[in-house]
Amino acid sequence: MADAYNPSPTMIIFFFFFFFVIPWATALPDEVLRQDIAGLLRTDPESTSRASVDYGNLVRETPSAVFHPTTIDDIISLIKLSNNLSTPFSVAAKGRGHSVRGQAMAAGDGVVVEMSSLDGKGRVGVRVSWNPALGFFADVGGEKTWKDVLEATLEHGLAPVSWTDYLYLTVGGTLSNGGISGQSFLHGPQISNVHELDVITGTGDFITCSKEMNSELFFAVLGGLGQFGIITRARILLHKAPSRAKWVRLIYKDFSKFTRDQEYLISLDSNGPNYVEGSLITDNSPPNNWRSSFYSSLHQSKITSLLKSNQGLLYSIELVKYYDDLTSSTIDEELVTMAKDLEFVPGFIFKKDVPVIDFLTRVAIGDNHDNSEAHPWLNLFVPKSTILDFNEAVFAQIIRRHNHTTSGPILFYPFNRIKWDDRTSAVIPEEEIFYTLGLLHSSMPDEVEIYEKLNNEILEFCEKSGMKIKQYLPHYKSKEDWVKHFGSKWDTFREMKTKFDPRMILSPGQRIFNSI
Ligand code: FAD
């Protein structure tokens, strides 16, 4: 009787490559694989599956390859190559993949560009300069994180003025959205604090742009969801870095007082705080969470007792005033003056005094997030005129009803529209003051539907009641929804796409021009 077939290790390796590796490698057309840059494409399942997940853990789209450029020219060659094919492949820049709904993914024959590969020798890095027209500024590679920017600029005693709460996000990634945090009311979002950009467009052209030079591209790219080009350098405005921060939290039982005080604080301009945010406290969104551990256990239990006596819902203002040696003798008095008319619950004011770097790096989840969790986040901008109704329906009813399922920070704080440049692609409500809601859920993957139901209930309520909300970090499934989202900006957005990415190559994961 013949022996049972027993394959040798060499045969096993051959079969593995034949059936698993080669099919991946050949998903791109031969023309691509024959080019010099082909050596920078990784088609192995480990690389492509890493590019098929993001922080949200909600969407999975596997690209045909992951591109690891070492120079700007590599990216230009890749995009030109795609343009030269009768059927172009899509190209998605990936910063840190901190999107939550596949925005940095590229399905099918698409290629994901791993921007962090650029971060080597010969690159701009973070370069601090000064000139009489702009003052101090930093030229920063689009692949750099805001943490890199902070560290490098602080060495010169300087820092950007507008941040995100969490700094392990790339400059290219946040400038493609907006980049918001508690400083935005005063300085505008990050997209309001950029002097100049280097961009590789969807046609593979390398263009330097600013408000004065190639301004169409400049404004299109800012908040442009990666649709018009890949940002390879941003020139960012810098100020003298403050050294310390008085960091204060105030607790409210009453929504009207909470928002009235937030609006008062953001009206104070340079005499007021440097940072204002706000959040809800519920049983499942406790005072301390992954975004920030601020309170001692004693203070936590004091707040928890108040929470129980207020039907499980409190509001909290977080404010910061920077100071340095010159202002250290007056800062406490300034804070007292600032807080004297505020209507928080008496005795519920909590303070810290920290180095500014500790405050700015307070959200310290690092670059390694927990892949076993999903993050079905919802981020909205809500016009001021509707916040009382929004509170009644969304906070007091919908979220309270879902309290056993909501889990994670719930942010709610205001911006001044005047600090946003209407020429950018970012979309905000048409009112002078609007609020941002950040519903930052964490969920087990098999419970995502419960959170999506909650998110949809909120969106449906806004739709039915005619509230003119806008999504931040938007995600839609249909073209009609995108057209509605952009409103009066849609025609320009589409025109810019035709001009700078006519073959619809860039950032397909946003599903704007390639939505179903
Ligand atoms: P990616 O997710 O990799 O990419 C996002 C989009 O931009 C994709 O479409 C991609 O193709 C495109 N893109 C990436 N790089 C470039 C580039 N160089 N040029 C052009 N397009 C590019 N946002 C805030 O505004 N404020 C916050 O405080 C804040 N906190 C956050 C905290 C956490 C824990 C997380 C996960 C996200 C947070 N965000 C915040 C959202 C964040 O701004 C977005 O996720 C954004 O996409 C940045 O992430 P990224 O750099 O990883 O970009």
The CATH number covering residue 176 comes to 3.30.465.10
The verdict on 285 and 351 lying in the same domain is yes
Q: Is the pLDDT of residue 456 over 90?
A: yes
Mean pLDDT of 469-481: 96
Last residue of a domain, one of 90, 118, 146: 118
Q: Is 254 a catalytic residue?
A: no
Residue 431 lies in a domain: no
Last residue of a domain, one of 240, 268, 298: 240
The pLDDT of residue 64 is: 96
The verdict on 134 and 231 lying in the same domain is yes
Condensed to tens digits (0 to 9), the pLDDT of residues 272-310 reads 999 999 999 998 888 888 777 899 999 999 999 999 999
Q: Is the pLDDT of residue 223 over 80?
A: yes
Answer whether 55 contacts ligand 1 (Cβ < 6 A): yes
The pLDDT of residue 123 is: 86
Residue 290 lies in a domain: yes
Q: What's the total number of domains in the chain?
A: 3
Contact assessment for residue 454 and residue 405, using Cβ atoms and an 8 Å cutoff: yes
Answer whether 169 contacts ligand 1 (Cβ < 6 A): yes
Q: Is 277 a catalytic residue?
A: yes
**Coil/strand/helix, residue 412:** strand
Answer whether 141 contacts ligand 1 (Cβ < 6 A): no
Mean pLDDT of 134-145: 97
Mean pLDDT of 182-206: 98
- What is d(CA 282, CA 159) in angstroms, rounded to the nearest whole number? 35
User: Ligand 1 atom 53: the closest Cα is on which residue?
Assistant: 173
The 10 Å Cβ neighbour count of residue 32 is 21
Mean pLDDT of 467-491: 96
Verdict on whether the full-model pTM lies above 0.85: yes
Helices (H) and strands (E) in the chain, counts: 18, 19
Residue 201 lies in a domain: yes
293: domain CATH number? 3.40.462.10
Residue at token pair 């039982």? 253
- What is d(CA 474, CA 101) in angstroms, rounded to the nearest whole number? 9
Contact assessment for residue 414 and residue 477, using Cβ atoms and an 8 Å cutoff: no
Torsion of CA 512, 104, 362, 356, to 10 degrees: -80
User: Among 397, 515, 376, which residue's Cα sits nearest to residue 453?
Assistant: 376
The verdict on 267 and 252 lying in the same domain is yes
Question: Which residues form the domain of 69?
Answer: 9-118
Task: Using the mean position of ligand 1's atoms as its centre, give its distance from the Cα of residue 346 in Å.
Answer: 39
Name the E strands within 124-214: 126-131, 135-141, 158-159, 194-201, 206-210
Task: Using the mean position of ligand 1's atoms as its centre, give its distance from the Cα of residue 430 in Å.
Answer: 24
Answer whether 221 contacts ligand 1 (Cβ < 6 A): no
Residue 213 lies in a domain: yes
Answer whether 160 contacts ligand 1 (Cβ < 6 A): no
The pLDDT of residue 506 is: 98
The pLDDT of residue 487 is: 97
The 10 Å Cβ neighbour count of residue 483 is 15
Residue 411 lies in a domain: no
Condensed to tens digits (0 to 9), the pLDDT of residues 13-58 reads 545 444 444 445 546 888 888 888 999 999 999 999 999 999 999 9
The verdict on 228 and 271 lying in the same domain is no
Q: At what angle do helices 490-500 and 479-486 cross, to 10 degrees?
A: 110
Last residue of a domain, one of 118, 137, 156: 118
The verdict on 226 and 254 lying in the same domain is no
Q: Is the pLDDT of residue 105 over 50?
A: yes
Residues 6+ away with beta carbon under 8 Å from 492: 220
- What is d(CA 337, CA 166) in angstroms, rounded to the nearest whole number? 30
The verdict on 308 and 329 lying in the same domain is yes
264-292 burial by CB neighbour count: b if 16+ within 10 A, else e? ebbeeeeebbbbbbbbbbbebbebebebb
By the 10 Å C-beta count (0-12 exposed, 13-18 middle, 19+ buried), 463 is classed as exposed
Higher local confidence (pLDDT), 348 or 365: 348
**279, β-bridge pairs:** 316, 411
The verdict on 236 and 267 lying in the same domain is no
The pLDDT of residue 481 is: 96
User: Ligand 1 atom 20: the closest Cα is on which residue?
Assistant: 230
Residue 196 lies in a domain: yes
The verdict on 261 and 218 lying in the same domain is no
Mutate-to-test residue for ligand 1 from 112, 149, 170, 236, highest number of ligand atoms within 8 A of CB: 170
The verdict on 222 and 251 lying in the same domain is no
The verdict on 221 and 281 lying in the same domain is no
95: domain CATH number? 3.30.43.10
Q: Is 98 a catalytic residue?
A: yes
The pLDDT of residue 2 is: 42
Contact assessment for residue 409 and residue 133, using Cβ atoms and an 8 Å cutoff: no
Residue 209 lies in a domain: yes
The verdict on 17 and 100 lying in the same domain is yes
Mutate-to-test residue for ligand 1 from 100, 119, 169, highest number of ligand atoms within 8 A of CB: 169
**Coil/strand/helix, residue 427:** coil
The verdict on 267 and 347 lying in the same domain is yes
- What is d(CA 226, CA 207) in angstroms, rounded to the nearest whole number? 15
Q: Which of 261, 277, 318, 501 is catalytic?
A: 277
In a 13 Å sphere around the CA of 189, the CA atoms on its Cβ side amount to 24
Contact assessment for residue 216 and residue 423, using Cβ atoms and an 8 Å cutoff: no
Residue 34 lies in a domain: yes
Q: Is the pLDDT of residue 120 over 90?
A: no
